[in-house]
Structure 1
Amino acid sequence: MLVLFLLRQNPVQKAAAELFDISQATVSRRWTALLPVVEKVLAGHVPDPAQVSAGRIVLVDGTLVTTWDWRSEGTRLFSGKHRDTGFNLQVAATLAGDLGYVGSGLITPRRKPPGQERSTGDKVANRSVNTLRAAVERAIAHLKDWKIFATRYRGPLARFALVTKAVTALAFYKKGW
């Protein structure tokens, strides 16, 4: 329950410790020990991306997951677009909004030429692409229901892949996969 609470709400460990009536050190130890267990137990609920996407359109988009500024780890993560520290989490989804991690044959909206307006054809094409992209935006919104993605990630960056796998497995488990 503690691991799920930390993933879903992303509180500081001291707040979780007070809520669960344990020490912050115990929260940290349990988080470190049990997160891999949760991911491993639920990994069987994550469908094979190749099977889920076979014969279907797969949409890929990115979202910023904000982090601390990890200069001490020799990494400087900064998104100029968002003017914040973090990194781009790539999400793939089918048109039904089902999550996945496979994609080929990318179709993206057409960019505006520098110093010019978009042509009518480009505007029509972009409207079509953006209508399709709504499914992947929905998938990202569902992932960001997990506050560990929606609010500033405070943990070590080396563990973020495990966090992502655990949340993905929990999302599929919740959908009944």
Structure 2
Amino acid sequence: MTKTKEHAGDTVSLVYQCRLPLSTHTLTYLSDLLRRHLKAIRSRWRALPPGRIAVIVLAVLRHDQRLADMAGGNDISATTIRRWRDELIHLLAAKAPRLDRALKKIARRGGEVVLIDGTLIPTQRRTGKANRPNYSGKHRRHGLHVIALTDERGRLVWISAARPGRTHDITAARRDRILAHLRAAGLGALADLGFIGLADDGDDPVVVTGFKATRARRLAPAEKEANRVLAAGRVPVERGFAHLKNWRILTKLRTDPARATHLFRALLVLTNIEATTDN
């Protein structure tokens, strides 16, 4: 632990070191991305070199470090770190794949199905009428709803735009025209019961969702077994979401919900880089 320059009175700022559990490949990718961007915009000077900037931004995303804390440890302002964070998030989000291209890529590799699921990313509770749609009655908390697609191994291939927390899975899927994109790519999908009714062809469904019991109708043993088989096949998509949520900035979002889509897609790119390194 080291001391930085003194402030008023007898108080001093204490700085500690913390391990960042990411690969050097991720750091190199982000640093090179920033260098190319600086060269493209002809930016001649930054307070820190691209490698240091990349480390700071990765720490903010991975550990959810407060901007003021990172600023004090690097002798720069929190506003500067905020600007660097937003800049790199936009650069990474631009690398995220489009839905149609991601599905066609899986089809070219010989894939037959993708896994689809929705989740709620918790946010700070904000007052006001404009933030009421962000309350999810299912989860009983405020958040943003997103849908993600993974391949059969659980690798994230696409993530949707951020929507209010009260949005239903099937509503979001219809807005993104996921069914039409799946048909265009010649792929099927495995989904949970939240997507029942998405496929409009009962004889040859594109999206398989299993069976749902009601108060008036119990599931037959064969239907229960089919649900168990489907749940086992959908395990990788849960693992894909788990890798995405390893970025602790998603533990409870404090950023503007309007910027959340870029953040989610930037983290998708970083998650896939880490997955490639692990493999």
SS class of match (1:74): helix
Give runs of aligned pairs for residues 17-166 of structure 1, distance below 5 A. 17-40=71-94, 43=95, 48-54=101-107, 55-72=111-128, 74-76=130-132, 77-101=134-158, 104=182, 105-149=206-250, 151-166=251-266
TM-score by length of 2: 0.56
Q: Which moved more, 1:13-22 or 1:83-92?
A: 13-22
In terms of Rg, which structure is larger? 2
Give how far 1:85 is off.
0.5
Measure, in 2, the Cα distance between the counterparts of 1:167 and 1:73.
29
TM-score by length of 1: 0.84
- Residue identity over aligned pairs, in percent, reads 29
Q: Which has the higher contact order (CA 8 A, sep 6+)?
A: 1
| Shift in alpha-carbon separation, 1:119–1:21, aligned structure 2, 3 A | farther
Amino acid at match of 1:2: I
Give how far 1:114 is off.
1.8
Measure, in 1, the Cα distance between the counterparts of 2:74 and 2:92.
19
Specify every segment of 5 or more residues in structure 2 that has no aligned partner in the other structure, as ranges.
Answer: 1-54, 159-177, 183-205
Of 144, 167, 172, the match for 2:272 = 172
Measure, in 2, the Cα distance between the counterparts of 1:88 and 1:114.
28
Of 69, 72, 75, the match for 1:15 = 69
Q: What do residues 2-39 of structure 1 show as CA deviations (whole Å, max 9, x unaligned)?
A: 22112112233223323434332222222233322344
SS class of match (1:92): strand
Give how far 1:62 is off.
1.0
Poorly superposed stretches of 4+, deviation over 4 Å: none
Measure, in 2, the Cα distance between the counterparts of 1:18 and 1:82.
37
SS class of match (1:85): strand
- Say if 1:69 and 1:85, in contact at 8 Å, map to a contact too: yes
Measure, in 2, the Cα distance between the counterparts of 1:126 and 1:19.
52
- Say if 2:116 and 2:149, in contact at 8 Å, map to a contact too: yes
Specify every segment of 5 or more residues in structure 1 that has no aligned partner in the other structure, as ranges.
Answer: none
- Say if 2:63 and 2:248, in contact at 8 Å, map to a contact too: yes
